A and B are shown apart, each in its own frame.
Chain A
């Protein structure tokens, strides 16, 4: 047996908590008829967004196309995504974790890091016991399982949560790190991609243990800082702080929508892009942010991507300005005879508006548009997001986003409680309503 690479147990105690098949589990928790069956969400996207463990057992993987899934697993139950319910449960998930520590990094809708360092004494429990109790609360109150990794660093905690899924709890104290890394392929840890992994293998590093046995100078010589950090973290030295503040996701805003059937009509595809531009700009205005740069992306039927980026002379969140500006860029990207299935807009380098008058006196005009968009947003907030839109996106508003059976909406949106409207529902997750 090899020698340990670090001493002690938990100089820091970091949890990584990961919802098991989160979206599919949210569905199984609200509807007992789905339990024990292969459940897949993502119907409206045409690919599996999340699949229950029963579906995983049949070989269904993430992003698999629905047509393929039907061949592989004909009994699969394929549901449209119900993001409203998933978000409500995600928020509850984080709230429950915060009962145990305020230091929580919401890393995704279905996973978070939590720093428990120092909480053993107040709770009169070991870190492992606290993690068990938290896991129990989550399962009891949300109705499905979570996997937890406990270690001194984020990278190790993340390895731990994956170690034994579903419903696993894996604690990796520092003095046992080497046992976990011994046979772990170098491509496994969070942050080591295929490029880095193949480069490491060229240097004879095949397992994570090989990697952490190399000395610091060697890593510093051949690899950039992010990889050096992973090296430290794998050795049990915490160098990646938790990002406790709500993630500044809105510092960039993306809107991507897939449509079916795919189209090769430039007017239709451009209308789809315009609809995304309008939604993205509305969101940016909601956050009171303006973009300095934007990019657009077209996805073909064969999943090829074509994109371009544009730097703006002045930050903006006005849709009409972006539509005018991006039309020629779109024409350059668009290839005749190619089928497209999705468009995307990204607003990047977002910043708060600079309210100072500019040199060229266009600020009055800008102020006029600002007030116009305020009114438009008010109307949209009251009567629905798509009640007012540009002529440019007209074609995208003509039909539902997906023709045929994929256009189905989740049960929650079809089943309204008295007093709810299609735009405003009670913020409490629901059980499916088959009762006798």
Chain B
């Protein structure tokens, strides 16, 4: 048997049984031979290569090559540092900006229609799909095969209109059923 294969099999034995096999077990269960001499030769070769070790009594012990899960270090007893405690409650900028990662998309703002809402051409919008819009939300809708960003307003009688934040642009009164694609959740301006 190839020494690498033997090593892998011993490693597998170790993982299954959480202990090292004896030389006899290696002979009977891993190499499956009758020859103790042959087995010892193969095992000694692995010991010489430093892959296996023997303890004082001559029994096999694992080297660090065997540990599949590493120790993560020791927990030091004592008082936790207040700074660490505080850090547990922080979030990344990503987490702050994005609530539902799977439904969030990005797009670049073009045009002036939302200028009075402080949304300028070149700004980056984060938008979320699949959320029910509320009155006053800024939404992305599909009008005449194009994206448009507008305020979502619900008029009395539950009529929906799309209102720009720029008096130069017309309010859109959708004739047919309007599909709101996404709701704007953040505007990012990078300088």
Give the B-binding residues of A (Cβ under 8 A): 30, 32-33, 35, 92, 95-96, 137, 140-143, 354, 356, 415, 417-419, 426, 428-436
Contact between chains at A143 and B181 (CB < 8 Å): yes
19 A-B contact pairs sorted by A residue (CB < 8 Å)? A30-B105, A32-B142, A33-B145, A35-B145, A140-B103, A140-B129, A141-B102, A141-B130, A143-B129, A354-B4, A417-B106, A428-B105, A428-B106, A430-B107, A431-B106, A435-B107, A435-B113, A435-B149, A436-B111
Contacts of B49 in A (CB 8 A): 356
B190 contacts A436, CB within 8 Å?
no
Q: Which residue of B lies closest to A32 (CB)?
A: B142
Q: How far is the CA of A429 from the CA of B103 in the complex (A)?
A: 10
Given the known inter-chain contacts A140-B130, A356-B49, please indicate yes or no for A435 contacting B106, CB distance below 8 A.
Answer: no
Q: Does any Cβ of A come within 8 Å of B138's Cβ? A: no
Q: Is B163 interfacial (CB 8 A cutoff)?
A: no
Q: Is B105's CB under 8 angstroms from A415's CB? A: no
- 7 further A-B pairs in the complex, CB-CB below 8 A; given A141-B130, A431-B182, A436-B148: A33-B145, A417-B190, A433-B147, A435-B111, A435-B146, A435-B148, A436-B113
CA of A143 to CA of B147 in the docked complex: distance in angstroms?
A: 14
User: For residue A137, which residues in chain B have a CB less than 8 angstroms away from its CB?
Assistant: 130
Knowing A32-B146, A140-B129, say if A417 contacts B102 (CB, 8 Å).
no
A residues less than 8 Å from B29 (CB atoms): none
**Which residues of A lie under 8 Å from residue B124 when comparing CB positions?**
417-418
Q: Are A431 and B107 in contact (CB under 8 A)?
A: yes
Is B104 interfacial (CB-CB < 8 Å)? yes
- Shortest Cβ distance from B131 into chain A, in angstroms? 8
Is B160 part of the binding interface, using a Cβ–Cβ cutoff of 8 Å? no
Q: Are B106 and A429 in contact (CB under 8 A)?
A: yes
Task: Tell me the residues in window 134-191 of chain B with beta carbons closer than 8 Å to chain A beta carbons.
Answer: 140, 142, 145-149, 169, 181-182, 190
Residues of A within 8 A of B190 (CB): 417-419
B140 & A431 in contact (Cβ 8 Å cutoff): yes
Q: Is the interface of A mostly helix, strand, loop or mixed?
A: loop
**Which residues 77-103 of B sit at the A interface, judged by CB distance below 8 A?**
100-103
Within 8 A of A (CB), among B29-81: 49
**Chain B residues within an 8 Å CB radius of A92:** 101-102
- How many A-B contacts if CB must be within 8 Å? 84
Taken together as a complex, chains A and B put the C-alpha atoms of A142 and B104 apart, in Å, by 9
CA distance A417 to B107 in the complex (A): 9
Question: Are A32's CB and B106's CB within 8 A?
Answer: no
Whether B108 lies near A429 (C-beta < 8 A) is no
Instruction: Assess whether B19 is interfacial by the CB under 8 Å rule.
Output: no
Distance between Cα atoms of A428 and B108 in the complex (Å): 13
A-B pairs, 8 with minimum CB distance: A140-B130, A141-B103, A431-B107, A32-B142, A435-B110, A92-B102, A418-B190, A141-B130
- Interface assignment of B109: CB less than 8 Å from any CB of chain A: yes
Nearest B-chain residue to A36, judged by Cβ = B145
Across-interface contacts of B148 in A (CB, < 8 A): 435-436
Which of chain B's residues 111-134 have a Cβ closer than 8 Å to chain A?
Answer: 111, 113, 122, 124, 126-127, 129-130
Contact A436 B146 (CB under 8 A): yes
Query: Do A96 and B113 touch across chains, with their CB atoms under 8 A apart?
Result: no
Check B108 against A436 for contact (C-beta < 8 Å).
Answer: no
The reply to whether A32 and B105 form a contact with Cβ atoms under 8 Å apart is no
Bound: A390/B149 CA distance, A: 50
From A143, A354, A430, contact of B106 by CB (8 A): A430
A432 to B127, CA, bound (A): 13
* Residue among B109, B146, B149 having the largest count of chain A Cβ atoms under 10 Å: B146
Complex contacts, B110 vs chain A, CB 8 Å:
433-436
Q: Which residue of A lies closest to B98 (CB)?
A: A428
- Contacts known (A141-B129, A143-B181, A356-B49); A426 close to B106, Cβ less than 8 A: yes
Closest-by-CB residue of A relative to B142 is A32
Chain B hits for A428, CB < 8 A: 104-106, 126
B130 vs chain A, min Cβ distance (A): 3
Q: Looking at A415, A419, A434, which has the most chain B CB atoms within 10 Å of its CB? A: A434
How far, in angstroms, from A212 to B66 measured CA to CA in the complex? 48
Instruction: Please report the C-alpha to C-alpha distance between residue A35 and residue B107 in the assembled complex, in whole angstroms.
Output: 18
Chain A residues contacting B181 (CB-CB under 8 Å) are 32, 143, 431
Roughly how many angstroms separate A198 CA and B59 CA in the complex, as a whole number?
61
Of B4, B107, B181, B182, which is in contact with the most chain A CB atoms at under 10 Å from its CB? Answer: B107
The one of A32, A95, A436 that contacts B102, using a Cβ cutoff of 8 Å: A95
Q: Which of A35, A96, A415 contacts B108 (CB 8 A)?
A: A415
Q: How far is the CA of A418 from the CA of B120 in the complex (A)?
A: 14
| Residue in chain A with minimal CB distance to B131 | A140
A434 to B126, CA, bound (A): 15
In contact, A431 and B102 (Cβ under 8 angstroms): no
- How many angstroms between the C-alpha atoms of A417 and B122 in the bound complex? 9
With both chains docked as a complex, state the minimum distance between the C-beta of A82 and any C-beta of chain B, in angstroms. 14
When distances are taken between beta carbons in the complex, the residues of chain A under 8 Å from B146 are 32-33, 434-436
A140–B103 Cα distance when bound, in Å, is 8
Residues of B within 8 A of A415 (CB): 108
A434 neighbours in B (Cβ, 8 Å): 110, 146-147
**Residues of chain A contacted by B108 (CB below 8 angstroms):** 415, 417, 430, 433
